[in-house]
Chain A
Amino acid sequence: MKTKAFSLIIICCVFQTFMFGQTEGMVFIKGSRYLPLYGRDSTVVEVKDFNMDIYPVTNKDYELFVEKYPKWQKSNVIKLFADDSYLANWKNNLELKDDQNSNSPVTYVSWFAAKAYCECQGKRLPTVDEWEYAAMADETTKDARVKPSYNEQILAWYEAPRSNENIIGESPKNAWGVYDLHGLVWEWTLDFNSVLITGESRKDVDKDSDLFCGSASLNATDLMNYAAFMRYAIRGSLKAKYSMKNLGFRCVQDINQ
């Protein structure tokens, strides 16, 4: 009896540490297989279970980060890791410009900075496949890509100006419980450089004909998903040290087995 109670307590403790600490501010995304717009050999990809940040990283979050890691402050960041527009909307190393909102997603951050931010929290950037997997959900369905309303909504956002200045959590969460995958900013992914659909890849790539612009979209698996095509296209045009006004990020975490 005693040992039973003891083991129960142990289990509770283990369970609790697992529930908290690990997943604060994150939601569990159940992995699966799906057919992305661009996958390996245009076949289904497998996404393992992972936790994803509920919100994109905000200016406020980033302020705490640069306070703790001065190396990533505006004037200290080295040129290899970020271009000149890094944190262009900040007035100094530690503060945002007055007209910026601390609850807006952080932008003007490079891939290196985003990656370091996540690593410093014991997390990482999501892969393209993971991001697209979580982002194909709408408010009620986990794969809403077939619904006309899903695409219309995203495309409406692509047309809306200055959405990066809005604050997080204002639009409804998706079926996973994640906010703002669409609607505010584009987001960095770990392997954004794995997509070869830029102009330069026409001459670079051994498989050029199927990976260049127009022909690329013809080769894509789902012609209806024009919004996703735009995302892949923009990823293809990025370089890791770019810092852009409408590009932020969020982190994910592997599930410890």
Chain B
Amino acid sequence: MKHLKIYFSVFIMVMALASCNSNKTEKISDELTGFQCPMKCEGEKTYAEAGSCPICNMDLQPIEMQEDIVIDEDGISEESIFNLTSTWNTEEGEEIQLEDLKGKTLVMVMIYTTCKAACPRLVADMRNIEAQIPKDNLDNLRFVLVSIDPNTDTPERLKAFAIENFMDGEQWTFLQGTEASVREFANVLAMKYKQISPIDFSHSNIISVFNSGGELIHQQEGLGVDNKETVESILELTQ
């Protein structure tokens, strides 16, 4: 197992070199622990303990094992955001790559914590969406809030923001990148923003839904709009 990890990180390093990316490529081991049916009879459903799949009776496999098997050049589709190799800090102070979020449906939005106008409404929209998702589906779901303002929004600040806004649960993740990685990520979402004063940004309000492979499935634009379609697409992906 240890060896596998080493091989894997070497592989990542080589890939990063080949793509001529100067980002640091330290790979932090996956936090994901759990078991899953190798046939994925129940989609991405995971179990806390080893056992057998209630549908096909095959032995459940540890998820980490699967990750290692799946990840090769074709493990990530061409349209997947996991092709981005930048490193991000979470509100818990961990360093991750987007790929570490693989396996869960992702609902992503870009905000900044000093925002007074649109972001509180965007955050409310996110909570509103979360409230419409049944508890069972939440296990397969992550709400990811990416800061547009990486200079101000340190992990500590993001953590404080999370607590303040009742978004400190497992399913919420906040990310701090660098100016370059944020710009790149925004471009993947086709999201526009501009710093208009030291503490203020003008930005488009887009909530994006990605499937467990990191492919963009749905985008909701605007504030306080009807989120029925967004919720539907999330439910479909997390079933």
Report how far A239 CA is from B183 CA in the complex, Å.
12
Q: Which residues of B contact A40 (CB under 8 A)?
A: 194-197
Give residues of chain B (163-209) contacting chain A, Cβ–Cβ below 8 Å: 183-184, 186-188, 190-197, 202-206
CB pair A80 B79 closer than 8 Å? yes
The answer to whether B20 touches A201, judged by C-beta atoms less than 8 angstroms apart, is: no
Q: Which residues of A contact B202 (CB under 8 A)?
A: 196, 205-207, 211
Looking across the interface, which residue of chain B has its beta carbon closest to that of A207?
B202
Q: Is the CB of A193 within 8 A of B193?
A: yes
Across the two chains, which residue of chain B brings its CB closest to A124?
B180
Q: In the complex, are the beta carbons of A196 and B192 less than 8 A apart?
A: yes
A114 to chain B, nearest CB (A): 11
Question: Is B217 located at the chain interface by the 8 A CB criterion?
Answer: no
Total residues of chain A contacting the partner, CB 8 A:
33
Kindly report which residue of chain B lies nearest to residue A43, judged by CB atoms.
B197
Whether B204 lies near A80 (C-beta < 8 A) is no
**Chain B residues with a Cβ closer than 8 Å to the other chain, count:** 33
Beta-carbon contact of B79 and A194 below 8 Å: no
Decide: A240 near B187, CB < 8 A? Known: A41-B196, A119-B20.
yes
A207 to B115, CA, bound (A): 13
A85 to chain B, nearest CB (A): 16
Residues of A contacting B222 with CB < 8 Å? 203-204
Contact A193 to B80, CB < 8 A, known contacts A40-B196, A204-B221, A204-B222: no
A-contact 0/1 string along B143-162, CB 8 Å cutoff: 00000000000000000000
Residue B22, interface by CB 8 Å = yes
* A119 and B83 form a contact (CB under 8 A): no
A79 to B80, CA, bound (A): 9
* Residue interface bits B91-131, CB-to-A below 8 A is 1, else 0: 00000000000000000000000000110000000000000
**Chain A residue at minimal CB-CB distance from B215:** A80
Select which of A120, A204, A207, A236 is within 8 A of B20 by beta carbon. Answer: A120
Q: Which residues of B contact A204 (CB under 8 A)?
A: 192, 203-206, 221-222
27 of the cross-chain contacts (CB-CB < 8 Å) are A40-B194, A40-B195, A40-B197, A69-B19, A78-B83, A79-B78, A79-B79, A111-B187, A112-B184, A115-B184, A116-B20, A190-B183, A194-B192, A194-B195, A196-B202, A196-B203, A196-B204, A200-B221, A201-B192, A201-B204, A203-B221, A204-B222, A205-B205, A206-B117, A206-B118, A206-B202, A211-B202
The 4 A-B pairs with the shortest beta carbon distances in the complex, nearest first, are A240-B187, A194-B194, A204-B204, A78-B78
Residues of B within 8 A of A (CB): 18-22, 78-81, 83-84, 117-118, 183-184, 186-188, 190-197, 202-206, 221-222
Known interface pairs A78-B79, A211-B202; 9 further A-B residue pairs with C-beta atoms within 8 A, sorted by A's residue number: A80-B80, A80-B83, A111-B187, A119-B21, A119-B22, A203-B222, A204-B205, A204-B221, A239-B190
